[in-house]
Structure 1
Amino acid sequence: MQPLSDPGTLERPLFFDGQQLYAEDLQGLEAHHRALRWLHNRSLHQPGVGNGLAVSGRRGEREVRIQPGYALDAAGRELLLGEPLTEPVPPVAGEPDGSPAYFDLTLCYPSDDDLEETETRDGVCAPRGAVRLRERPVLCWARLRPDTSGALRPVDDAQRLALEEGRVIALARAGILDCRLSADLSATLRRTARPTERPRIVCGTGPVDWKEWHAVAGDDDSALLGLRAEVSTGARGFRATPCYTARVDGRRPLVFPGEKDEPDVVLLDGPAYVQDATPGQFQCHVPLLVYAGALAGLPDELIPNARRQWQVTWYAIEE
């Protein structure tokens, strides 16, 4: 049963003397309390490690060791590891250029198909069935590669989204060379399930998808003011809309050759500012000014060049 966003939709099971009970009645009672517990967890905590789950691995080793511990995912589900585990490192030689291949060791809540049946019983006039399941979390290595900004991101889009949304918890990062750890494991990427003390200050930087910014949205004939981009901050887990500040980093000025005997066009960008801010994103607007030459519209090369050379650096303060 998935956790419900509205506890008012829950139905509390009741029983009466003489009622004939079925397995689904008792399972419904357990699901009711589990849904309320998950709602409590995600209302008061954030996805991350609650305690334990220490991961160790030294340079040159072929396996890593995970200690018992407890974590929560974005749905409020408990990831409880009750005994130490040993996990082999991915059997890869490295990247084609000879550098280490990087992986994140992640932990996620198991699906029903992944649960181990630890006890079964014969039914009365019914086939044998499971009466106990072991909810051991699932360990998985996520392959990483650098994006356009040089930051390491999961190659698989589904894994990247699950990590950003907190459905999967990252425990450690490993570099692999010749099927061995190229360095000691790094745990700097771990997040705690305990909410941080406010005010909270967070920063970020990265490439964005620049688009034309017109005076009237959606009107191609309106005045062209500059560039705009949507910046996602959902992975930072803000509970309320923070106070964002943004700037644009990249090559300046933007110079485009003029046609025939006309002078080159030089574009200067004005101060970036934030609009339409929410806890998970904001719009970054950048005005463009013509310093020299004549300009009827944006050069065709501007948008591709801006997407390639300009990135947004921002910081946010959550009260």
Structure 2
Amino acid sequence: MVLPTGPRRASYFAGQSLTARTLNDNLATEWARRWAHNRFLHGAGIGQGLTVTATVGQVEVTVEPGYGIDPEGHEIVLVAPVTVQVPPVPGPTDYVLVCRFDPDPTGFTDTGLCGADGVSAWMDEPLVEFVPATDFPGAAGSALPLATVRVTGCVLSSISFGRRQVLGERRLPYVDAGVHRPSPAGWELATTDAGVAYGLRTVADTSVAGFRGTPDYQARLSGRRWFDVTGPELSTPVMLWTTEPDVVGAGATRLTVEILVPTVRAGRTDGTFAEFLDGSGLTDEITTLVATELEWAITWIGVEGSL
């Protein structure tokens, strides 16, 4: 491991001639060591605040005051709220909202002896800006991510916090859980390549957990499996025989599960899910049925890091 500075440290003696260069070099060494300390012992993340406030359909987001450390160890200190406009693009395009250490801060000048003047202090105000998600981390790897947004039609269409990392919040293995209650539009038929229905599928948003990578997910289905059908095609009690949710797609912020329905008992007759849908005429209504009448919900748990 290569450190940014060597073992040399400043020392002073009586009668020493101190120049601006000597003092600035010593200060630069101490800052380099402080940034190395932050980077190696604490890592990058948010210590306090830096909360993002935004409303879907609007053109601005606001970052509240707070403190954080960027990937290079710089301290990010925001002392007042900052409001920035989302990029004016037709979209849909994803961006990462970041706080970034300003390498060219505002300087305060002062006057010395014999009319000399120069910068006597720097204003270390961080930059708050959007960077394209395709550039992150990459060129934006020195920035502290606060949120990921999607811009559609020049306005904010969604916001998530999967990239956000809080200092001292966890140790691996990290475990979090949640409940996904899809609306009728959140369910869809799971079908074979030939279009034969064998169950239902839904995608759960797990970004609230703040996983850094893809965790090991487990999921279970809650809700009733029986209901009554009254209609011209069929009028009888129905029982859906289901499996536990099958994880078919996973990421740090999303979980896709399928509920297999191997058998449906309508009255005293057993059949496949596809046969039931064709015979009952419920193909278009099944997603509304499981979301509203049966109240299906997915309880998920994710484990990041080995146990």
Q: TM-score, normalised by structure 2?
A: 0.53
Partner of residue 92 from structure 1, selected from 81, 89, 93: 89
**Which residue of structure 2 aligns with residue 160 of structure 1?**
137
Q: Letter of the 2:110 partner, please give it.
A: R
Larger Rg, first or second structure (1 or 2): 2
Corresponding position: 1:193 with 2:167: yes
Partner of residue 132 from structure 2, selected from 143, 161, 165: 143
Partner of residue 149 from structure 2, selected from 174, 177, 181: 174
Aligned residues: 186
Partner of residue 104 from structure 1, selected from 96, 102, 112: 96
Deviation at 1:39, TM superposition (A): 2.4
> 2 CA distance for matches of 1:140 and 1:9?
34
Which 10-residue stretch deviates more, 4-13 or 84-93?
4-13
Per-residue Cα deviation, 1:197-228 (whole angstroms, up to 9, x for no partner) = 234589xxxxxxxxxxxxxxxxxxxxxxxxxx
Deviation at 1:128, TM superposition (A): 2.1
- Alpha carbons of structure 1 residues 162 and 48: separation in structure 2 relative to 1, 3 Å: farther
- Is contact 1:200–1:318 with CA below 8 Å preserved after alignment? no
> 2 CA distance for matches of 1:32 and 1:195?
30
Per-residue Cα deviation, 1:146-199 (whole angstroms, up to 9, x for no partner) = xxxxxxxx1x4xx43245xx522211122212322124x322321122263234
Runs of 4+ in 1 over 3 A off after TM superposition: 4-8, 198-202, 315-319
Per-residue Cα deviation, 1:61-118 (whole angstroms, up to 9, x for no partner) = 1111110111112222111111111111111122xxxxx222111122221xx2012x
**Which residue of structure 1 aligns with residue 19 of structure 2?**
22
Corresponding position: 1:43 with 2:40: yes
- Is contact 2:58–2:155 with CA below 8 Å preserved after alignment? yes
**Which residue of structure 1 aligns with residue 49 of structure 2?**
52
Per-residue Cα deviation, 1:11-64 (whole angstroms, up to 9, x for no partner) = 211111111111122222322322232222122212111111001110121111
Q: Letter of the 1:42 partner, please give it.
A: R
- Is contact 2:162–2:212 with CA below 8 Å preserved after alignment? no
- Is contact 2:53–2:61 with CA below 8 Å preserved after alignment? yes
- Is contact 2:84–2:129 with CA below 8 Å preserved after alignment? no
- Alpha carbons of structure 1 residues 318 and 127: separation in structure 2 relative to 1, 3 Å: farther
Q: TM-score, normalised by structure 1?
A: 0.51
> 2 CA distance for matches of 1:83 and 1:12?
35
**Which residue of structure 2 aligns with residue 123 of structure 1?**
112
> 2 CA distance for matches of 1:121 and 1:131?
6
**Unaligned regions of 5+ residues in structure 1, if any?**
95-99, 145-153, 203-234, 238-244, 246-314
**Which residue of structure 1 aligns with residue 228 of structure 2?**
none
**Unaligned regions of 5+ residues in structure 2, if any?**
177-210, 217-302
**Which residue of structure 2 aligns with residue 11 of structure 1?**
8
- Is contact 1:13–1:28 with CA below 8 Å preserved after alignment? no
